[in-house]
């Protein structure tokens, strides 16, 4: 393994992400380039990211905390340190957190690593870059979401608790294989499956938000009912707020070549099927969707319902956010998610929900006040149907539209001896006993 300390020029992603992002973050950063965990399906290996020797040459962005501090200031945020030395704001309420919230521009939730590197990979033990990033966010009172496959995150539990108290901290573990022998082949240098669940349990006990990203589920090897139900049951036992199942993408080039060479060696019986599934060489790595062994999300939805755990991440209300507005936003995002990703409905159908979600995410007047003053329609520039949906959510916590969607999804429920699989001839989804 080769380690190299480098100086980063920039850190935060440039573009603000959309409201329907699966983890409800609007910026992200990576403290490392490359990842020692060496998951055989890792997207980071692809030529698309221009990182050679992704799993064996780890570049450590040693100045990442410093760059982050500069970039946050450029975005208009102030740190606690600055607040303490300022007199200009002394007329504001004394509570520091309130003063910061009043002064700072719209809050951002930062995805700390987990995009194309793991912030808690082995190099973090010595270099502590992710820890310093969390310290910086704590100083700015800004929320963080961490996606990891390592129990090293427990080292920072003190910091995460503090951050959670003043802003918000959410730790999501990627866990894709219940059987740890298979995990050793597919995610060779990541923490074991039991260790990841144990770490999640400890964080949840400490009051930190968290769930499980069961993505990517490797076709045939991970798409068994046994694997997915096992993961959902463990997630529930660990106190996860949700488990999100998703399919695997495989970009043509070195990512696909490496993945297939491992499958050929360790799972020869699955090799031909998997190779054929990605024979389309889609540039984003999408498989031939209707040739997948199962519809991972739909089966995931059914299993989650049976186990009693949420099947998608939660849009939490952050400190200083309006409770009612963000409860409505949460339901709108669920509608978009179920329509787009689970039922595969055309984009047009979810557009009004998506557009309103973006508005609410950016901040609008208190919806309860708008409702009471009969100003929802003009205040949000929405049609009568959307007014009715928003009103129902404010008054009851859900809406008929959402209930109908859920009953559409229940049509796919088939019991634990069957799968939603693709029909070889027509390519359509069908239910079949297994």
To ligand SF4, the closest distance from the beta carbon of 315 in angstroms equals 24
Question: Nearer to ligand SF4 by C-beta: 117 or 325?
Answer: 117
Q: Which residue has the tokens 């199962």?
A: 294
Distance, CA of 375 to CA of 45 (rounded, Å): 51
Q: Is 151 in the site for ligand SF4 (CB under 6 A)?
A: no
Residue 333 near residue 259, CB atoms below 8 Å: no
DSSP 8-state class, residue 338: I
Interface residue with ligand SF4 among 29, 39, 153, 218 (CB under 6 A) is 39
Judged by CB under 6 A, does residue 38 bind ligand SF4?
A: yes
Nearest distance from C-beta of residue 295 to ligand SF4, angstroms: 23
Give the DSSP H or E segment for 2: strand 2-6
Q: Nearest distance from residue 40's CB to ligand SF4, in Å?
A: 9
Q: How far is the CB of 374 from ligand SF4 (least distance, A)?
A: 50
Q: Is residue 44 close enough to count as binding ligand SF4 by CB under 6 A?
A: yes
Q: Would you call the peptide bond into 415 cis, given omega within 30 degrees of 0 as the criterion?
A: no
Minimum Å gap between C-beta 44 and ligand SF4 is: 5
191, 148 Cβ separation under 8 angstroms: no
Supply φ then ψ for residue 114, to 5 degrees: 90, -10
Q: Does 40 bind ligand SF4 (CB under 6 A)?
A: no
Supply φ then ψ for residue 212, to 5 degrees.
-125, 130
Binding of residue 156 to ligand SF4 (CB under 6 A)? no
Q: Are 20 and 336 in contact (CB under 8 A)?
A: yes
- Binding to ligand SF4 in span 319-338, by CB under 6 A: none
Give residue number: closest CB to ligand SF4. 35
Contact partners, residue 239, CB within 8 Å, separation at least 6 = 200, 201, 204, 205, 210
User: Which residue among 59, 99, 141, 149 contacts ligand SF4 (CB under 6 A)?
Assistant: 149
Among 27, 28, 83, 118, binds ligand SF4 (CB under 6 A): 118
User: Near ligand SF4 by CB under 6 A, which window of 30-38, 124-132, 262-270, 387-395?
Assistant: 30-38
434 token code pair: 């297994």
Contact between 212 and ligand SF4 by CB under 6 A: the answer reads no
Q: Rank residues 115 and 319 by Cβ distance to ligand SF4 and give the closer one.
A: 115
- Taking CB under 6 A as the criterion, the residue among 24, 37, 127, 354 binding ligand SF4 is 37
State how far the Cα of 393 lies from the Cα of 385, in Å rounded to an integer.
Answer: 13
Single out the segment in contact with ligand SF4 by CB under 6 A; choices: 63-71, 93-101, 114-122, 278-286.
114-122
- Give residue for tokens 């500069």: 70
- Cβ contact 68:11 at 8 Å: yes
Window contacting ligand SF4 (CB under 6 A); options: 4-12, 112-120, 178-186, 382-390: 112-120
- What's the rounded Cα separation, in Å, for the pair 378 and 63? 48
Report the C-alpha gap between 407 and 326 in whole angstroms: 24
Q: How far is the CB of 152 from ligand SF4 (least distance, A)?
A: 12
Which is closer to ligand SF4, CB of 156 or CB of 361?
156
* Interface pattern 179-198 for ligand SF4 (x via CB under 6 A): -----------x--------
Among 35, 60, 64, 123, which residue sits at the site for ligand SF4 (rule: CB under 6 A)?
Answer: 35
Could you give the C-alpha distances from 278 to 45, 219, 252, in angstroms and in order? 17, 11, 9
Radius of gyration of the chain (CA): 22
What is the residue-wise DSSP string for 326-372? HHHHHHHHHHHHIIIIIS---HHHHHHHHHHHHHHHH--S-HHHHHH
Q: Contact positions toward ligand SF4, by CB under 6 A?
A: 35, 37-39, 42, 44, 116-118, 149, 190
């Amino acid at each position: 393994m080769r380690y190299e300390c480098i100086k980063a020029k920039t850190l935060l992603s440039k573009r603000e992400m959309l409201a329907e992002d699966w983890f409800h973050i609007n910026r992200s950063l990576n403290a490392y380039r490359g990842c020692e965990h060496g998951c055989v399906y890792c997207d980071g290996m692809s030529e698309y990211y221009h990182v050679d020797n992704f799993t064996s040459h780890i570049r450590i962005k040693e100045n990442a905390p410093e760059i982050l501090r500069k970039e946050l200031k450029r975005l208009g945020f102030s740190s606690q340190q600055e607040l303490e030395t300022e007199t200009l704001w002394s007329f504001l309420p004394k509570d520091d957190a309130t003063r910061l919230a009043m002064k700072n521009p719209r809050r951002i939730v930062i995805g700390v690593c987990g995009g194309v590197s793991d912030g808690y990979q082995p190099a973090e033990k010595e270099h502590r870059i992710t820890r310093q990033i969390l310290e910086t966010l704590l100083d700015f009172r800004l929320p963080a979401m961490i996606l990891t496959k390592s129990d090293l995150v427990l080292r920072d539990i003190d910091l995460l608790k503090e951050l959670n108290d003043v802003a918000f901290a959410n730790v999501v573990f990627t866990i894709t294989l219940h059987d740890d022998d298979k995990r050793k082949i597919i995610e060779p240098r990541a923490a074991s499956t039991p260790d990841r669940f144990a770490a999640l349990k400890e964080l949840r006990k400490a009051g930190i938000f968290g769930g499980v990203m069961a993505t990517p589920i490797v076709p045939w090897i991970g798409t068994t009912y046994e694997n997915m139900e096992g993961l959902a049951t463990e997630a529930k036992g660990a106190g996860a707020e949700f488990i999100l199942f998703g399919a695997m993408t495989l970009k043509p080039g070195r990512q696909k070549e490496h993945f297939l060479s491992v499958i050929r060696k360790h799972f020869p019986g699955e090799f031909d099927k998997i190779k054929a599934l990605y024979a389309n060489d889609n540039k984003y790595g999408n498989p031939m969707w209707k040739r997948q062994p199962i519809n991972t999300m739909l089966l995931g939805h059914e299993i989650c319902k049976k186990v009693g755990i949420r099947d998608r991440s939660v849009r939490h209300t952050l400190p200083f956010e309006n409770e009612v507005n963000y409860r409505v936003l949460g339901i709108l995002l669920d509608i978009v998610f179920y329509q787009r990703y689970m039922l595969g409905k055309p984009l047009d159908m979810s557009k009004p929900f998506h557009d309103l979600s973006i508005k609410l995410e950016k901040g609008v007047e208190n919806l309860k006040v708008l409702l009471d003053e009969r100003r929802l329609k003009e205040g949000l520039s929405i049609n009568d149907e959307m007014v009715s949906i928003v009103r129902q959510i404010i008054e009851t916590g859900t809406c008929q539209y959402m209930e109908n969607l859920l009953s559409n999804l229940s049509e796919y429920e088939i019991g634990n001896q069957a799968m939603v699989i693709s029909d070889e001839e027509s390519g359509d989804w069908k239910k079949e006993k297994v």
